[in-house]
A and B are shown apart, each in its own frame.
Chain A
Amino acid sequence: MKIESHLDKFHRLDDARQRLDPVQDCELWIWTCMNAGVHLLNAALHRIGATEATDSFHTQVEGLYVRPDRISGQLIDAVHPPGDVMHFGQPPIAAPLPDEVRQAGAALRVIEDMREPYVRGDATPSREAIAAAEAAYRDCVRLLGSVLATAL
């Protein structure tokens, strides 16, 4: 997707995140942090030229995209180099990445690792786990924000 679309989505998701309570709404809060972070990551990767701002959407299958026909609205399956990533490292990126992006990817991983126990599973996150996710999200936004600002 285009950088502007990723940034629009990041802002909408970040607004939604702020409406959710990290404890009472932990499932959707965790998921929304992750999605917001991934859109910002894609914007940053496109901006530094590590991935292409192709007019295609990542599907649930790693490395499989759909290209929209903007007139008919039809979607056509496509396999091409990234492109948008679904998660950091999925699909892998061949280009060398600056430290800020790699650190942001590690921060995103902290949030992604909460999906299995707290979203798909029935564990309740501790206050410490929520605090770690909040810190990881802030780090992710700060690091990727600096990449986007530097490359502007």
Chain B
Amino acid sequence: MNPATHRAKAQRIERSIAALDPTQFEAVIEGTMLAGTHWFNLVLHRAAILPDRNDAMHAEFLPLGTRRRVRVLLGEVLAAMDRIEALRTTHVRGDMPDGTGAAREALHALAVLRQHALREDRNGLA
């Protein structure tokens, strides 16, 4: 998927998240994963780490060499994506306490992804 479509999908899913309350934390966290993955792919495409035809489905499952490159070049982006995925285990598939706090943390990680993606996108268009 090309960066423009990733951007449109991420922004569309973010509008959906806005319809929810952080107390509906499972759906909020899942929304951050969906939107965040589109931002993540936008960054990977713009940074020429992955071609448009090859989207990452989960950061955890990137080939080892690719994941190491991303960690070196885009450490904050990878950390944000990993944080969202970790919150899915503990608060969507799991029942650890403070789901609302987890949703807020996921939204923060999503903001980090968005910020990086929009910057990469501007650089890519320049």
Residue numbers of A with Cβ under 8 A of B are 1-2, 5, 8-9, 12-13, 15-17, 19-20, 24-25, 27-29, 31-32, 35, 57-60, 66, 68, 73, 75, 84, 86, 119-122
Contacts and interface: CB of A to CB of B under 8 A. Distances in A.
Contacts, number: 91
Indicate the size class of the contact surface on chain B: 20 to 34
Contacts of A31: 27, 30-31, 34
B26 A35 contact: yes
17 contacts: A2-B95, A16-B20, A20-B20, A24-B16, A25-B16, A28-B16, A28-B17, A32-B30, A35-B27, A35-B92, A57-B89, A59-B93, A60-B85, A68-B90, A68-B94, A73-B96, A120-B55
B34 to A, nearest CB: 6
B1 A19 contact: no
A25 B20 CA distance: 11
A51 B89 CA distance: 19
Interface of B: 1, 5, 8-9, 12-13, 15-17, 19-20, 23-28, 30-31, 34, 55, 57-58, 60-61, 85, 88-90, 92-96
Given A13-B26, A60-B58, A68-B94, 13 more contacts: A12-B26, A13-B24, A15-B24, A19-B19, A25-B16, A27-B16, A28-B13, A28-B31, A35-B30, A59-B93, A60-B89, A121-B1, A122-B5
B5 A9 contact: no
B90 A57 contact: yes
The interface centre, meaning the residue of A1, A24, A28, A121 with most chain B CB atoms within 10 A of its CB, is A28
Nearest to A119: B34
A1 B94 contact: yes
